[in-house]
Amino acid sequence: MVKISFNSIDYQGLLEAVFLATQDAISVVDEKGEHILVNPAYTKITGIEYDEIIGKNAYYDIEEGEESVHMKVLSTRKPVENTKLKLKPSGKTVVAQAAPIIVNGQMKGSVAVLHDISTIKDLTDKLEEAEKKLRQLTYKYKPEDIIGKSKAINEVRKLIEKAAKVPATVLLRGESGTGKELFANSIHAQSPRSHKNFVRVNCAALSDSLLQSELFGYDEGSFTGALKGGKKGLFEEANKGTIFLDEISEISLNTQAKLLRVLQEKEIMRVGSNKNIPVDVRVIAATNTDLSKAVKEGKFREDLFYRLSILPIFIPPLRERKEDIPLLVKNFIAKFNDEYGRNIVDITDEALKILQDHDWPGNVRELENTIGRAIIYMNINEKVIDTIHLPHLNKKKQNTEVAVKIDEGADTLESVLEKTEAEYIKKIYMKFNKNKTRTAKELGISIRSLYYKMEKYGIS
C-alpha cells in the first residue's frame, strides 16, 4: 500500500493542474455574483474568452430566462446539483453543479462545474427524429396522401387537423372506397399519440366470438385452442396509441356493450377473466352506413352511437369532388410507375374527360384501380394514357353517344346504324393518325373489312 505524506503535497500546484486539465468548465464568482476566475475548458464550452468574462455578472453566459446556479447558491447558501442550462453565445447545453465558497463562516462566492451534454443531446434528438421517421414509414398512409384541392376535401382536411389535437372519439362516415382508413391514419399521424401504435380492425371480417377475443384478448384455458398464457387483445396492443374500428356497424349488440364499457371505464376485461386491465386508447370508428338509422331499427346501441360520434366526419364521394380527379390521377400514375417500373408521363385531355364524366360508384378506390389497369394495358413504349387504355369507360361513353343520336331521330334503323358506324370508324381512324392497321385492331375487324367500310362511307 502506498502511503502519501500530505505535508509533502504542493496543494496549490495540484489544484492548478486539475483546474487546467479538466474537460469540464469551471467558473468562480465572488459574493456579488461577478466572475473572478474561469478555466480554459470554460472558454471552449461557452465561447467566451477569459478577459471578457472576468468582472461580468453570473447571468452573462446563460440564455435569457435561465436561472443562474451561482445566484441560487449565493441566495440559499446551499449547493445546487444537476441543473440543465443553455449557454450563450455557443448555444451548448450543460448540466451544472455549484457550491458555496465559505471561509471562516462568511460567504465568499460560488464555484460551478459545467458538464457539456450537447453531443449527447444532439444524438438523443437525432435518435428521436429517426424513430419518428421510422414510425412514419410504418404508416400505411400519411397526411400528405390526402390528395385534392376541392372545397369538399379541404373542409375534411380542416376537421382532420382539429381531430388530431384532441383525444375525442371520431366517427368517419363515407361510402366504400372513399379512403376512410387514410383519414384515420392521418388523424393518428398528426396527433400526440403518433409515436405509439396504430391498430386497424376490420369488424366485418371476424365472427362475433373471434372479434371479442381479438379486441379484448383472452386468458389461458378460456376456450378450446386458447394459447398457453393467454393473449393480449388489440386494445392492449394499442395502449397509448390509436385503434381504428372499421365497419363498426357490423358488430353485434353483445360486442357493442363491451365496447361501450371500454369507452366509459377506460379498461378492458379479457375473455375468460374477471380482472380489469386499464387502457389508454384513442378510438376512431368508420362506417359506410347510416348508424342513426341502425339505432332506430334497434341494430345499434344509441349510447354507443353518441359515444363514438363525439366528432363525426363525413368523407365526400368522388362524384362530389370531381375537380380533384386530375390530381388524383397524377398521384396514381406516380404510384404505379414505382410499382410497375413504368415511365408514364401524362394523360390526354380526352381520357381525362372520360374519367371526369364517370360517376365513380366505387369512389377513389375505383379510380385507382382504373389507372392501374390502364397502365397494365399500355405497351412498354407508350408514355401517355389515352382513351384506348380505358376500354370499359370508353365503351360506356360511346354507348351514351349512340343513344343520344338515336333520340335525335333518323329515317330508318339502317341509316342510324350506318351513320353511327361511319362516325365511330372515322373517330378511331383519326385517333391513330390514319394508321389503318391500328384502327382495324382497335375496331376488332380485318384490314380488308376496314378498307371496304372506309370506301363505303367515303373516309379518306
- β pairing state of 276-278 and 198-202: unpaired
pLDDT-based confidence at residue 129 (cuts at 50, 70, 90): low
- β pairing state of 282-287 and 242-246: parallel
Q: At what angle do helices 436-443 and 447-457 cross, to 10 degrees?
A: 100
Domain termination site, one of 314, 330, 357: 314
Identify whether residues 151 and 295 lie together within a single domain.
Answer: yes
Identify whether residues 57 and 157 lie together within a single domain.
Answer: no
Cβ atoms within 10 Å of 84's Cβ, excluding its own:
11
Q: Establish if 365 belongs to a structural domain.
A: yes
Q: Establish if 6 belongs to a structural domain.
A: no
- State what percent of residues in the chain have pLDDT above 70: 86
CATH number of the domain at 49, please.
3.30.450.20
Identify whether residues 102 and 177 lie together within a single domain.
Answer: no
pLDDT at 452: 80
Q: Establish if 161 belongs to a structural domain.
A: yes
Cis peptide before 278 (omega within 30 of 0): no
Query: What nine digits make up the cell of 266?
Result: 377506460
Mean pLDDT of 12-36: 88
Identify whether residues 447 and 352 lie together within a single domain.
Answer: yes
Q: Establish if 432 belongs to a structural domain.
A: yes
Identify whether residues 410 and 450 lie together within a single domain.
Answer: yes
pLDDT at 396: 54
> What is the Cα–Cα distance from 214 to 238, expressed in whole angstroms?
12
pLDDT at 454: 86
Identify whether residues 152 and 244 lie together within a single domain.
Answer: yes
CB 190 within 8 A of CB 250: no
Report the chain's C-alpha Rg in angstroms: 37
CATH number of the domain at 387, please.
1.10.8.60
Mean pLDDT of 201-225: 84
For 300-399, list the strands marked E by DSSP: 311-314, 346-347, 384-385
- β pairing state of 106-116 and 93-103: antiparallel
Q: Establish if 134 belongs to a structural domain.
A: no
pLDDT at 428: 86
Mean pLDDT of 274-281: 93
pLDDT at 224: 60
pLDDT at 14: 78
pLDDT at 7: 53
- pTM of model > 0.85: no
Mean pLDDT of all residues belonging to the chain: 87
The one-letter amino acid code at 219 reads D
Identify whether residues 246 and 344 lie together within a single domain.
Answer: no
Identify whether residues 202 and 226 lie together within a single domain.
Answer: yes
Identify whether residues 158 and 283 lie together within a single domain.
Answer: yes
Q: At what angle do helices 208-216 and 253-265 cross, to 10 degrees?
A: 20
**CB within 8 A of 380, min separation 6: which ones?**
342
> What is the Cα–Cα distance from 379 to 137, expressed in whole angstroms?
33
Mean pLDDT of 439-458: 84
Residue-number span of the structural domain to which 208 is assigned: 139-314
Mean pLDDT of 435-456: 84
CATH number of the domain at 213, please.
3.40.50.300
Identify whether residues 147 and 277 lie together within a single domain.
Answer: yes
Q: What are the pLDDT digits (tens) for 57-95? A: 999 999 888 899 999 999 999 999 989 899 998 889 899
Identify whether residues 341 and 445 lie together within a single domain.
Answer: yes
Mean pLDDT of 225-232: 73
pLDDT at 206: 86
Number of structural domains (the chain) is 3
Identify whether residues 419 and 335 lie together within a single domain.
Answer: yes
